Amino acid sequence: MGIYEELGLERIINASGAVTRLGGAPMPKEVLEAFRSAAGGTVPLEALQAVASRRIANVTRTESGLVTCGCAAALTLGAAAILTRDDFGRMERLPDCDGFPNEFVIAREQRSGYDHAVRASGAQLVEVGFNERVANAGVRRSEAWEYEAAFGPSTAGVVYVFAPHAQPPLAEVVAVAHRHQLPVLVDAAGELPPRSNLWEIPATGADLVCFSGGKAIQGPQSTGILCGRRELVAAAFLQMLDMDEHFDLWSPPSEFFDKEKLIGLPRHGIGRAMKVSKEQIVALLTALERFAAGNNEEERATQRRVLETIAAELALRAVACRIIASADNERPPHLEIQLDEAELGRSAFDVCRQLRAGSPPVYVGHGQLDEGTLVVHPLCVDAEDVPLLASRLRDELT
Ligand SMILES: *Cc1c(COP(=O)(O)O)cnc(C)c1O
């Protein structure tokens, strides 16, 4: 019996990819091994984060990095770092920002539920631009001058949510912000692959960039990366780590700052509620370097075979299957299952619901249900579950 069965739970087949609701991506074997061996020993977390900082900086070609507990925590910590810089008084007061600038300018069209993580620091979002294209009330996207027009004495920085077609281009926003000495915090949680985004997004000059560790990188689900300018990452480091130490005995790693320049040791900061464990840090580094090395030809071929096996099983009247591969071959391919809902007599929503309700429960990608399409992502599907997945889909679609 597996661990989940012992707990009285039925294991599901996750055909919807590395979604957080279903526990994210599986950790590859070498990542799990790193996790296990790190859990078996002890080192000071500060020293471990210093190593992580160098390794992350190396991969992302930035000055400094930090392992956080998810990209969401990286956003909270990044915003906190921009709000406080090296001011211990401010660190102590967060999320109360009375008396210092706490506005972050963001394009209205880039707002999402994830920016709660930025606001959790005490930051206030100031929206610019409109969402005219979605409203079908105009042709223009957000423009760089709109950020500039919103800057004022209460502005602390800019938040930018990176996406392949995000507008205005990040480099333009960085240029405008830097003209006013304002830092830019980038949410790039799910923008991997392509691997090159690990260094190309920071190369725009963005001051802090946040990635998820538990999505495509396939590190522990609750890890993330904050990377960028050393002084800002250091401010995040100070507000995240446990501070129960005597100043005299404390020897913070020189990667982040010179102890001589500090006025003392701050108390626990806003990030103390977002700690990461040593095994998470080590596993994330292993996963990051594995991901950055690329070379996924074999993985892609295996994933494609999985989708072909399923598609072959679904040669049915009311169903049309299409395998979509990414142009650069860095992303896993996925399978679109287009339903003829009238012919089938059921909607894609109904089928999705039934797939979850059956045994074993099957979760497919649900982003295109309103177009009558189910999506199968191979990343989190166990090889041994493929025949079962194919037959459950066939049963529901016949
Ligand atoms: C997933 C995601 C996050 C949160 O990342 P976690 O690593 O799960 O904390 C933040 N922003 C965006 C755009 C995301 O897709």
DSSP 339-350: E-HHHHTS-HHH
Instruction: Determine the atom of ligand 1 nearest the C-alpha atom of 224.
Output: 7
Q: Is the pLDDT of residue 238 over 80?
A: yes
CB atoms within 10 A of CB 231: 15
The confidence score (pLDDT) of residue 5 equals: 94
How sure is the predictor about 158, in pLDDT bands with cuts at 50, 70 and 90?
A: very high
Q: Is the CB of 70 under 6 A from ligand 1?
A: yes
Give the residues across from 66 on adjacent strands. 226
| Confidence (pLDDT) at 377 | 96
If you measure from the C-alpha of residue 311 to the centroid of ligand 1, how many angstroms do you get, rounded to a whole number?
31
Least-confidence region, from 19-28, 231-240, 355-364: 19-28
- The fraction of the chain above a pLDDT of 90, given in percent, is 90
> Residue 299's pLDDT band (boundaries 50, 70, 90)?
confident
The finding on whether 212 has its CB within 6 A of some atom of ligand 1 is yes
Q: Are 34 and 232 in contact (CB under 8 A)?
A: no
224 lines ligand 1 (CB under 6 A): yes
pLDDT of 103 reads 98
- The answer to whether residue 295 scores a pLDDT higher than 80 is no
pLDDT, the chain, mean = 95
For residue 20, which atom of ligand 1 is closest to its CA?
8
190 lines ligand 1 (CB under 6 A): yes
Q: Which of 247, 250, 249 is nearest to 263 (CA)?
A: 247
Q: Is the CB of 189 under 6 A from ligand 1?
A: yes
Residue 255 has pLDDT above 90, yes or no: no
Residue from 20, 71, 106 whose mutation best tests the ligand 1 pocket (most atoms within 8 A of CB): 71
Residue range 68-84: average pLDDT?
A: 98
pLDDT at position 331 is: 85
Q: Is 61 a residue whose pLDDT tops 90?
A: yes
Average pLDDT estimate for 241-251: 93
Q: How many residues does the chain have?
A: 398
pLDDT of 257 reads 86
For residue range 77-128, list pLDDT tens digits in order. 999 999 999 999 999 999 999 999 999 999 999 999 999 999 999 999 999 9
For the cut 90, the answer to whether the pLDDT of residue 298 exceeds it is no
Q: Where are the domains of the chain?
A: 3-21+295-397, 42-293
Say what the pLDDT of residue 38 is: 98
Nearest CA to ligand 1 atom 3: 189
Task: Return the minimum-mean-pLDDT range out of 20-29, 40-49, 80-89, 100-109.
Answer: 20-29
**pLDDT for residue 294:** 83
**Of 170-184, 317-331, 382-396, which range is least confident?**
317-331
Alpha helices in the chain (DSSP H): 3-6, 29-39, 45-60, 71-84, 88-93, 116-119, 144-150, 170-179, 197-200, 230-240, 278-293, 297-313, 341-344, 348-357, 386-397
pLDDT band per the 50, 70, 90 thresholds, residue 296: confident
pTM: 0.94
> What is the fold, at CATH topology level, of the domain defined by 3-21+295-397?
Aspartate Aminotransferase, domain 1 (3.90.1150)
21-27 own/partner pairs: CB under 8 Å, 24+ apart: 22/363, 22/380, 23/221, 24/214, 24/215, 24/221, 25/214, 25/215, 25/216, 25/217, 25/218, 25/221, 25/379, 25/380, 26/218, 26/379, 26/380, 27/218, 27/219, 27/220, 27/283, 27/287
Q: CA 215, 220, 226: angle at the middle one, nearest 5?
A: 70
pLDDT of residue 37: 97
Least confident interval from 245-249, 253-257, 278-282, 310-314: 253-257
The answer to which of 87-91, 103-107, 334-338, 381-385 has the lowest mean pLDDT is 381-385
pLDDT at 166 (0 to 100): 96
Residue 185: pLDDT band with limits 50, 70, 90: very high
Q: Report the nearest-CA residue for atom 2 of ligand 1.
A: 189
187 within ligand 1 shell (Cβ under 6 A): yes
Strands 362-364, 13-15: parallel, antiparallel or unpaired by DSSP? Answer: parallel
Least confident of 17-26, 117-126, 220-229: 17-26
Q: Looking at the domain 42-293, which fold is it?
A: Aspartate Aminotransferase; domain 2 (3.40.640)
Q: Is 130 in the pocket of ligand 1 (CB under 6 A)?
A: no
